[in-house]
Amino acid sequence: MIEITVNGELVSIPEKTSLKDVLEIVDVPPNYLAVEVNAEVVPREEHSSLIIQEQDDLEVVTLVGGG
């Protein structure tokens, strides 16, 4: 297992986990807008191929309704 940060919270995930799988593990809502890994925006088409590394910092921006 490795440790990463997702939206400021420490999360343990298996080694060699793709960004796509991390988003499923941490139960990100399907209406998320963007994902940054170490302050770099990662296009959706790269989520399956990007392997998350120890101590990576992920920020997930989601759509929040309001009014």
Contact criterion met (CB below 8 Å) for 60 and 8: no
CATH topology of domain 2-62: Ubiquitin-like (UB roll) (3.10.20)
Per-residue pLDDT reduced to its tens digit, 2-23: 999 999 999 999 999 999 999 9
pTM score, two decimals?
A: 0.86
Taking alpha carbons only, the member of 2, 52, 15 closest to residue 60 is 52
Rounded to whole angstroms, the Cα distance separating 47 from 34 reads: 11
Tokens of 62: 């989601």
For all residues of the chain together, what is the average pLDDT?
A: 91
Percent of the chain with pLDDT over 70: 91
Percent of the chain with pLDDT over 90: 79
Amino acid at 11: V
Taking alpha carbons only, the member of 13, 3, 9 closest to residue 59 is 9
Residue 67 has pLDDT above 80, yes or no: no
**Structural domain boundaries in the chain:** 2-62
